Amino acid sequence: MLWGSRFKDKLNKSALKFSSSLSFDINLFKEDVLVSKVHAEMLAKVKIISSEEAEKIIYGLDLIEKHFNDGSWKPEDGNYEDIHSAIETKLFELIGNTAGMLHTGRSRNDQIATDLRLWVKKSSKELINALHHLQNVFLDLAGQHINTLIPGYTHLQRAQPVSYAFHLLAYVEMFERDKRRLNFVHDVADVSPLGSGALAGSTFPLDRKFMAENLGFTEITANAMDAVSDRDFVLDFLHCCVTGMMHLSRLAEEIIIWSSAEWNFIKLSDKFTTGSSLMPQKKNPDITELIRGKTGRVFGNYISLATVLKGLPLSYNRDLQEDKEPLFDSVETYYNSLLLTGHTIRTMEINTEKYKEELKGDFSLATDLADWLVMQGIPFREAHHIVGNVVKYCEVQNTKFDRLNLDEMKKINPIFDASAIEILDIKNVLNRKQTFGSPNPELVKREIKKWKQTLI
């Protein structure tokens, strides 16, 4: 224990087990050792401890790191409150009473906050790299399907034809926004609270800037009370995980639909599907279903921490121990979901012929026909009404757009001529698009090229 001299009795074993965070804050091992090394260097710099004492502490911390990494030392949950007390206790075993000098001018409150900020900075960059890789997977696939026609949907009803590449690029845009949010989190976490003590700073002349610079922080916190109790950056990180998982869940839903027999648009690799214990023919998209399902867990983690924070008075409260499990779980879930999404997309097969015939004469060309009428001088609302009558006629006659002849169209409205028939040819639908941000093949090619250059 790092405390206890004023207590008559030891902490009850059940209470220790209940309050211990070692099982999850062991994730902060590397950060905690690094923070302690830099703190020891600073104490020597300002002559609170000698250089020899600092060297002895750092030597002991190096040994702990070596033993932890090679597996010869692993702190047991039932013996320590957290990773910080485990490391300090081990340090006493290795170098004796000199270990007691390490905690000079430091509280676990600012130590934990510093560890956590370092971990968030590191993990946000790892997620950004994973998103970067996933974007490239999507761009590689998009480059192969610039002219692969698929129906675009609103309300899950066919709306207008697009290319599969265009659909994939929509997710590339989403992932870029996810990266921007993570960069924001990295920046808000990039402030060092070390030297804030328990809540009111220190009477020692601690060099906070030295510690911040050596830990890779760009700033130091300005208020010790806020510094030790601030978990906004964790909540921001969880929000990134929530939004990112929501994007992956939307994609997972589409992959599940596309892989069904009714759609038959993609075929998933055996490596990322499972079978049925009863039905031999089944091939289930379990990985994408799990991504969709785990999204709810990440949503719950955000609500969990927000609920913890909502009633806390300043400054530090033990409730804040509950920040780590939701954070670690969400980041791991999101990271693994990104990797598995990339594997799933890279290994699936696309049925490029699926919609070639199906979209011929499809009513999804109705807007193009209305636009043609507008170019003939018809107000759009009237054009909308006229095309609605064309659709109604086809439904009554059980026919499609591409089966209409000019005589039939002129009966509906005499303004139609032979050029209107050409509008109903699916082959030219994408090339007619003119606006930036549309699925015009030339524009899509440019977008893919731009992203490839951006993501180098």
Tell the residue number behind the tokens 């609270």, with chain if given: 193
Q: Is 398 left (phi over 0), alpha (psi -120 to 50) or beta?
A: left
- For residue 384, indicate whether it is catalytic: no
Q: Give me the amino acid identity at 396.
A: V
Asked whether 179 and 151 are in contact (CB, 8 A), the reply is: no
Closest CA to 433 of 371, 355, 374: 371
Name residue 62's amino acid. Answer: D
Under 8 Å CB-to-CB from 291, ≥6 apart: which residues?
Answer: 245, 248, 249, 252, 337, 340, 341
Spatial distance between the Cα atoms of 12 and 75, rounded to a whole number of angstroms:
19
How many CA atoms, within 13 angstroms, populate the side-chain half-sphere of residue 80?
Answer: 20
Crossing angle for the helix pair 108-143 and 441-454, nearest 10 degrees?
140
> Is the dihedral angle over the CA atoms 387, 392, 396, 399 positive or is it negative?
positive
> Which residues, in sequence order, are bridge partners of residue 338?
none
Locus of tokens 């004023």: 6
User: Radius of gyration over alpha carbons of the chain, in Å?
Assistant: 31
User: Catalytic: which of 259, 276, 384, 438?
Assistant: 276
Q: Which two tokens stand for residue 134?
A: 């996933």
Q: Is 21 a catalytic residue?
A: no
Catalytic residue among 5, 14, 72, 155, which?
155
Could you give the residue numbers annotated as active site?
155, 276
